Amino acid sequence: MTGFKSDFLNVLQSRGFIHQCSDFEGLDALAAKGQATAYVGYDCTARSLHIGNFLTMMMLYWLQQTGNKPITLMGGGTTMVGDPSGKDETRAMRTVDEIEANKASIRGVFAKVLRYGNGATDAIMLDNAEWLTKLNWIEMLRDIGRHFSVNRMLTMDSVRLRLEREQEMSFIEFNYMVCQAYDFVELSRRTGCRLQMGGSDQWGNIVNGVELGRRMGTEQLFALTTPLLTTASGAKMGKTAQGAIWLNADQCSPYDFWQYWRNTEDADVVKFLKLFTTLPLSEIEKLGALQGAEINEAKKALADAATTLLHGEEAARTAAETARRTFEEGAIAENLPTVEVAKSELDAGLGVLNAFVKASLVASNGEARRQIKGGGLRVNDVAVTDEKMALTSKDLTSEGVIKLSLGKKRHVLVKPA
């Protein structure tokens, strides 16, 4: 559908957020009145959210900017169950203490993108543990479970794909979609929420909530998903050889976050500028017209804007200057990511493989060996050729650090503690 009446859907469409919607016309009419209260759920499976979550946070951002109300739903209850979507095996069960710790660590990131408060369009944060942990089993089966067809549940991708591969699915996982569907109904009753948004892998779970709401007598509910993000090369968005790109600064420094965007493939620059920045489309169009080496200026603009949005202008400026000094001047910039090691380790000789693992530049000694064979690892800008090499205090530069490099773009400083 094109030619929306609402600013909300027009913005999402023009910036590439829309994949599927349960009823474009109905949702458009609701949003045009400024009456679209919408939520995205975030399970607390780790201490930080990642770039995939950043995408749905941006959907909530534009919802708020166009005069509607966002809800961030913490999955304190659903995390106890575990979402089977996209998984080949049952998620590890987390304790209540682990979930609470993750929840506390995650909470702060939302306020960097959304405005919270008591106003009509101010965001609110809720936790589904508040109602899911209080459900009575028999009442849940009678009042909620009776609306679900097992036949239909077995056709959901999260279930069907696991069964087709003859991989075990636990009963608790099978019930995740019921919990998520009930969240939608409960939020509708409590807050008037009528839209759930998420990634395309959540479509089935979200539509279950729309259908459950219809059966339980809520106002019409709506589903809206964003495309599964991949890079131009086909890689999953937000994944690197070193792991996920986290949103919390203590798990992915602003410098590494900035570098991630700076290293974007040429073909992805415009797409990511639209999705992960608030730059006007007219400015993005100009950046997208840059050719050849000039495309690097567009990549820097992407890195600056995305990092500013999440970590603030000062952090983005510092990251950009660190990169400039490192790559253009060849200097050892003090704001490069740093890992501390005990002075006694250096005195005794720190194995080069272990050093690169400690610096999180590689995931394992085996990966470090492969990088050495390919000429990918350097110490103080000198290629590592001997995997048995040991780093000692003699390798400290005049700045009192040892510079470890993976390729030309990833650097970490080792500093004696």
> Alpha helix (H) ranges present in 289-412?
295-311, 313-328, 343-348, 352-358, 365-373
Query: Taking all residues of the chain, what is their mean pLDDT, rounded to a whole number?
Result: 90
Of 56-70, 98-112, 271-285, 360-374, the poorest mean pLDDT is in: 360-374
Here the tokens at position 135 are: 């459900």
**Which pLDDT band holds residue 401 (cuts at 50, 70, 90)?**
confident
Here the tokens at position 58 are: 């941006």
Q: How confident is the model over 102-114, as a mean pLDDT? A: 96
**Distance, CA of 297 to CA of 409 (rounded, Å):** 16
Q: How confident is the model over 32-38, as a mean pLDDT? A: 93
Q: How confident is the model over 157-162, as a mean pLDDT? A: 84
Q: Which residues contact 227 (CB under 8 A, 6 or more apart)?
A: 16, 19, 200
Distances in whole angstroms, Cα of residue 248 to Cα of each of 87, 173, 183, 236: 24, 28, 26, 20
pTM for the model: 0.82
pLDDT digits (tens, 9 = 90+) for 161-217: 888 888 888 898 889 999 999 999 999 999 999 999 999 999 999 999 999 999 999
Residue among 238, 287, 393, 416 at smallest CA distance from 340: 416
3-class DSSP state of 408: coil
**Distance, CA of 80 to CA of 133 (rounded, Å):** 10
Are 198 and 167 a contacting pair, CB within 8 Å? no
Q: How confident is the model over 255-282, as a mean pLDDT? A: 95
**Which pLDDT band holds residue 241 (cuts at 50, 70, 90)?**
low
Map out the domains of the chain with their CATH numbers.
7-235 (3.40.50.620), 254-331 (1.10.240.10), 338-416 (3.10.290.10)
Q: Let me know how many helices (H) and strands (E) the chain has, helices first.
A: 19, 15
Distances in whole angstroms, Cα of residue 406 to Cα of each of 356, 374, 381: 9, 11, 10
**Distance, CA of 408 to CA of 247 (rounded, Å):** 24
